[in-house]
Structures are given as structure tokens and as C-alpha cells.
Amino acid sequence: MTLIALTGGIASGKSTIRERFSELGAVVIDADQLAREAVAAGSPGLGKIATEFGAGVLDAASGSLNRSALGERVFGDADALAKLNAIVHPEVRRLAAARIAAAIEADPYAVVVYEIPLLVESGHGMATDDAPATWDHVVVAEAPTELRAERLRLLRGLSQEEADKRIASQATDAERRAVADTVIDTSGSLQDTIEQVDALWNTLRG
């Protein structure tokens, strides 16, 4: 098995790269999707959140997470946010481990692409003094800040100020490049991005 971490800043083109990897035959895991599953109605994670923060963070009708109510509890409260992360992050890791194990069982030579937008910020799976890196390869999606802001304005309806704040709140290009094995430039055409992914795929499978 080859385990790839796919990361990049907001609106950097990660989804395009992920989708192409999937078309080529990779098993794709989306950390954001796992985070939603980790707190889905009836999940162990949601049960722990309700125990920690009270039934008021649940929707009375559906039993699902009331994100607004939870946000009010943790916004501006570092301790509360830390408690929330201590619940959600292990659940995400558990779900990811199950997906990876299933992929290996189905195909010991599978290529698994785990999309983690905040890889650099979280340090998830990166090498430390005590442990080697989890990832066999780290792929970074990259595009100029101006282009990413334009994508946020056009595709998500953000203002220039909102777009700039979102971008500035994340790691820098230099910080992401420092952990990258491969940088894929998504500032060109869709075909150009696809060709870069294909070239990497052929190298990894060669």
C-alpha cells in the first residue's frame, strides 16, 4: 500500500487532484467528510459531545448536532474547543484507520489518498523526534494567493476581505512546501493539473 497525504490551502485545487486520483484508481479518504461522520446522529462521537456539553447542543427533533449551539459553546473558549477537539480528532483517526484497513484488505497494493486540508497546521502524521511519518508521500496543491481569492469570490460568494482572511488564517505556501514531496500547480488549465497528477501516479505505480 502507498499512503498519500493530499493537502493545500483553501481553494488551492485539492478537490480536482483528489477526483483525478479517484479516477485513476486510488482509494480516496476525505478528512472533512470523516469529521462530519464522527459527529453524525447516533455516532459515538456525538454521544460524547452531548455528555461533555449537554443535550442543548443536539437538535431536539432529529437528535443530530446543532452546530450553531455547539459553536456558541466553544467560540472564544480555548478550553471548550480543546475538549471538543479531544473528542472529534480521535474519532476521525479511528474512522480513517478503518477505511485504510479496508483498502489494504481489498488490495494490499492499493494507493490511498487521504485529503487533509490542515495537514501542516495539525502536524497529523508528520515525522517527530519520537515517531516516523505516517505518509509515504505528501502532495501539496498550490495556486497563487490572488487566484485562490478569486476562486473564493466566484465559487463561494465571499467578499475580497473574507477571502483574504480565510487564506491568511492558514499555513503559508512556504510552510506547505517544506513538507511536500510533490507540489502540483493548479494555476493553469484543468488539463495541466490532470497531467501533473497522471505523471505522479505513473511514478508511484511504476
Could you tell me the residue ranges of all domains in the chain? 1-26+110-206, 32-107
pLDDT at 131: 65
- pLDDT tier at 37, thresholds 50, 70, 90: very high
- pLDDT tier at 60, thresholds 50, 70, 90: confident
Beta bridge partners of 139: 6, 182
Topology classification of domain 1-26+110-206 = Rossmann fold (3.40.50)
Mean pLDDT, the chain, whole residue set: 92
Q: What is the pTM of this model?
A: 0.85
CA angle 158, 152, 81 (to 5 degrees): 75
Residue 19 has pLDDT above 90, yes or no: yes
Structure confidence by residue, pLDDT tens digits, 101-125? 999 999 999 999 999 988 998 888 7
- pLDDT tier at 176, thresholds 50, 70, 90: very high
Structure confidence by residue, pLDDT tens digits, 72-87? 888 888 899 889 989 9
Residue 163 has pLDDT above 70, yes or no: yes
